[in-house]
């Protein structure tokens, strides 16, 4: 008996009882289909969270002041009130930390943006030109301000799309116009590309960017900075960069050994892994449920194979009488079980992929069909066929031909 | 000296049923030469079925030796016995035992699947030759339920022939058939025996079937009580011809 003979025999046996074979297969089809659909939904949501976070700049490192010590009266001071970060820190990071390509100091304040008769409450973010690189933010029109503007505290700005929508009537181009922010006139140099809402539902386009010196001196009248944004070379090096930033800042701030950091460094990668772990859990749960249905499908195969062996006892007896060895019978029934599970698996893969596509089309959920889930579920279902087909096949192969022949 | 196909010497088979030991065969000795047509007779309980199982290498004797074509089956493993059955024995059963929803030719091909010596290409050809030998070449694509009892038994005989065994072992092969069809089947066996020299061992309890064979071995209570050459072998062909023509058939013929 070679493989083709076995497959031919098994195929004939299965087509002899089409309805039953189809129903048995259905268990596997649903199981495999469910696994693939569920994993692709889980992977899809993971991917979408990841890409949303990356839209903020996936290599971005954020440094904010932090203090656990109490200043004077015992009341803790919030990060916003701390004045420990200086512009010098930003330049030290850029110069001394390897793997960091861009650094931007940042200060931010809220106020009213005014253009002619229109006004809009928004926030003004003071940054350096590098900020656009760090956030991977492009302009739709105009040009960015330069380091010269930073040096001279130039009265220039870039507008977010939401601000443009609210203080310009839509006809005239904002570029070149002068708007006012809390009475300070700012010349619009460019309009920022639309970024949409971030993962937390904040409108990222409701913003005005200006040189940080302008915001520090002309609007907020402060000398410290609130935040330092930096970009690591890539996601992997952000851990190393984080450590080095810590060392540089501790030196700058003259912190002694044992003293707590007066700043906190966060990377986007951390956030991504936190968010991903949530959807990872979701994937695991969905997959577990789907795997159970695959198991049930496997038990269905086992059940039907037992019925089939009992029903075909006489056939088994005959085959043995005319020269089939135990192993021949075992392989015959095993092949049938595997054929059911593999055929079911193939149909299940097709069903799983197409239902994942349907989910995307009709429910607008992101899905991502991962190759590994297709391969894995297919392998699992083939193994299911072998595992659940083995015992019925073994039972068949151990029948006594004399009794099997006489079985009615 | 003619070639001995079967050589049985003091064969015993005991079954243990709980605490009792049942002696089904109590020492049987006989041999069958190549080209013989032997019937084994005996009423139920005579040990006929037990002997048949041993002759068919489906069972192993408790004591004594059984040489099939010179091979002592007692020394063989389960798998070797299966191979021996495949190569040396052609089974014909009372209830045909054809696979349902499987065409005649596929049923005949079945033993060839388990014969590693036959290449896949030759399978169909060999099966066709066997079906031709039993006169059913034109029915090769019919399913068993589209064939009459006699035809089904012919397919079963073709299946027994296809591996060119040294012996055909028939178990009440005419038991499910009417007289006319029984004679037709016996005629086929006689032809296979006389024209192709097939050795046939035919187990039955019907004396009127035994008359067609050349020798009858009668069992009773697990022993051979008679082993006689049949001096006057009846021809199944003559018996068939002498059957009264069925009236009903005649009437139908006239009516149409």
Per-residue pLDDT at B8: 93
User: What is the total count of domains within chain B?
Assistant: 1
Pairwise CB contact (< 8 Å): B59 & A319: no
Residue B135 lies in a domain: yes
SS3 at position A265: strand
- DSSP assignment letter at B74: G
Residue B155 lies in a domain: yes
Residue B23 lies in a domain: no
Q: Tokens 């075909």 appear where? A: A312
Question: Rounded to a whole number, what is the distance in Å from the CA of B225 to chain A's nearest CA?
Answer: 26
User: Phi, psi at residue A366, to the nearest 5°?
Assistant: -70, 135
- Tokens encoding A349: 């893969």
Q: Which strand ranges, in their side-by-side order, compose the sheet holding B71-72? A: B20-33, B4-17, B63-68, B71-72
Per-residue pLDDT at A70: 54
Whether residue B29 contacts residue B9, with contact meaning beta carbons closer than 8 Å, is answered with: yes
- DSSP assignment letter at A363: I
CATH number of the domain that residue B205 is part of: 3.40.50.300
pLDDT tier at B93 (50, 70, 90 boundaries)?
Answer: very high
Most confident range, picked from A68-82, A224-238, B182-196: B182-196
Residue B22 lies in a domain: no
Structural domain boundaries enclosing B92: 34-61+75-255
pLDDT tops 70 at residue A321: yes
pLDDT more than 70, % of chain A = 93
How many Å apart are CA A93 and CA A75, to the nearest integer?
31
Q: What is the pLDDT of residues A353-389, one digit of tens each?
A: 999 999 888 888 888 888 888 888 888 888 888 888 9
Pairwise CB contact (< 8 Å): A322 & B102: no
**Burial level of A263, CB count in 10 A (0-12/13-18/19+)?**
buried
Pairwise CB contact (< 8 Å): B87 & A1: no
Residue B54 lies in a domain: yes
Q: What is the pLDDT of residues B110-130, one digit of tens each?
A: 999 898 888 888 999 999 999
pLDDT tops 60 at residue A79: no
How many Å apart are CA A66 and CA B118, to the nearest integer?
85
Q: Tokens 């040096």 appear where? A: A151
**Minimal Cβ distance to B114: which of A4, A315, A322:** A322
B48 inside 8 A of chain A by CB: no
B124 inside 8 A of chain A by CB: no
- Return the domain boundaries, chain A: 3-52+274-406, 67-261
Beta-carbon contacts of residue B118 (< 8 Å; ≥ 6 apart): B112, B126, B163
pLDDT tops 60 at residue B256: no
Residues of B in contact with A325 (CB under 8 A): 78-79, 82-83, 114
At residue B9's C-alpha, the angle toward residues B5 and B13, to 5°, is 110
- DSSP assignment letter at B33: E
Q: Give the A:B interface size as CB pairs under 8 Å.
A: 64
Whether residue A99 contacts residue A240, with contact meaning beta carbons closer than 8 Å, is answered with: yes
Residue of A nearest to B89 (CA): A322
Question: Which residue of B13, B58, B60, B157 to mutate against A (max A Cβ within 10 Å)?
Answer: B58
Pairwise CB contact (< 8 Å): A326 & B78: yes
Q: What is the pLDDT of residues A258-268, one digit of tens each?
A: 778 888 888 87
Q: Provide ipTM, 2 decimals.
A: 0.91
SS3 at position B230: coil
Q: What value does the mean pLDDT take over residues B203-229? A: 91
How many Å apart are CA B162 and CA B111, to the nearest integer?
7
How many Å apart are CA A349 and CA A56, to the nearest integer?
36
pLDDT tops 70 at residue B30: yes
């Amino acid at each position: 008996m070679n493989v083709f003979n076995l497959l031919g025999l098994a195929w004939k046996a299965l087509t002899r009882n089409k309805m039953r074979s189809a129903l048995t297969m259905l268990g596997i089809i649903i199981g495999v289909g469910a696994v693939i659909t569920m994993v692709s939904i889980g992977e899809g949501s993971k991917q979408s969270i990841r890409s949303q976070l990356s839209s903020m700049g996936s290599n971005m490192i954020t440094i904010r002041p932090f203090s656990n010590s109490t200043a004077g009266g015992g009341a803790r001071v919030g990060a916003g009130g701390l004045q420990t970060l200086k512009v010098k820190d930003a330049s030290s990071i850029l110069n001394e930390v390897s793997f960091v390509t861009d650094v931007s100091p940042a200060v931010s304040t809220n106020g009213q943006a005014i253009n002619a008769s229109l006004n809009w409450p928004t926030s003004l973010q003071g940054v350096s030109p590098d900020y656009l690189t760090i956030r991977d933010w492009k302009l739709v029109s105009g040009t960015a301000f330069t380091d010269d503007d930073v040096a001279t505290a130039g009265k220039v700005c870039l507008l977010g799309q939401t601000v443009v929508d609210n203080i310009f009537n839509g006809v005239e181009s904002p570029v070149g116009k002068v708007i006012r922010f809390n009475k300070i006139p700012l010349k619009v140099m460019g309009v920022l590309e639309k970024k949409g809402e971030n993962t937390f539902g904040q409108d990222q386009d409701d913003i005005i960017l200006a040189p940080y010196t302008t915001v520090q001196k002309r609007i907020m009248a402060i000398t410290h900075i609130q935040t330092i944004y930096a970009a690591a070379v890539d996601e992997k090096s952000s851990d190393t960069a984080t450590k080095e930033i810590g060392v540089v800042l501790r030196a700058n701030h003259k912190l002694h050994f044992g003293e707590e950091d007066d700043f906190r460094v966060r990377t986007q990668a951390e956030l991504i892994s936190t968010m991903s772990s949530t959807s990872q859990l979701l994937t695991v749960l969905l997959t577990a449920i789907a795997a159970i249905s695959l198991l049930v499908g496997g038990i269905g195969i086992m059940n039907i194979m037992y019925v089939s062996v009992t029903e075909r006892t006489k056939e088994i007896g005959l085959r043995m009488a005319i020269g089939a060895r135990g192993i021949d019978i075992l392989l015959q029934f095993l092949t049938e079980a595997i054929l059911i599970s593999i055929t079911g698996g193939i149909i299940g893969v097709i069903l799983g992929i197409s239902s994942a596509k349907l989910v995307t089309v009709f429910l607008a959920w992101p899905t991502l069909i991962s190759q590994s889930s297709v391969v894995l579920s297919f392998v699992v279902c083939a193994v299911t066929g072998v595992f659940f087909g083995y015992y019925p096949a073994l039972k068949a192969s151990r029948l006594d031909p004399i009794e099997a022949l006489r079985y009615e | 000296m003619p070639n001995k196909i079967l050589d049985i010497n003091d064969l015993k088979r005991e079954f243990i049923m709980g605490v009792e030991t049942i002696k089904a065969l109590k020492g049987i000795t006989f041999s069958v030469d190549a080209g013989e047509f032997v019937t084994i007779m005996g009423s139920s309980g005579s040990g006929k079925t037990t002997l048949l199982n041993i002759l068919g290498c489906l069972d192993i004797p408790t004591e004594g030796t059984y040489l099939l074509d010179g091979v002592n089956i007692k020394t063989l493993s389960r798998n070797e016995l299966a191979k021996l059955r495949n190569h040396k024995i052609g089974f014909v059963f009372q209830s045909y035992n054809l696979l349902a929803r499987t065409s005649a030719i596929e049923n005949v091909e079945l033993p060839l699947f388990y014969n590693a010596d036959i290449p896949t290409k030759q399978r169909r050809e060999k099966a066709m030759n066997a079906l031709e030998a039993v006169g059913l070449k034109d029915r090769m694509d019919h399913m068993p339920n589209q064939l009459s009892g006699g035809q089904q038994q012919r397919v079963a005989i073709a299946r027994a022939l296809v591996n060119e065994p040294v012996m055909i072992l028939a178990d009440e092969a005419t038991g499910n058939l009417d007289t006319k069809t029984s004679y037709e089947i016996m005629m086929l066996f006689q032809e296979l025996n006389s024209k192709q020299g097939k050795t046939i061992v035919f187990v039955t309890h019907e004396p009127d079937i035994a008359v067609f064979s050349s020798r009858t071995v009668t069992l009773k209570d697990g022993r051979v009580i008679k082993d006689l050459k049949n001096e006057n072998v009846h021809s199944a062909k003559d018996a068939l011809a002498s059957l009264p023509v069925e009236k009903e058939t005649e009437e139908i013929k006239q009516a149409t």
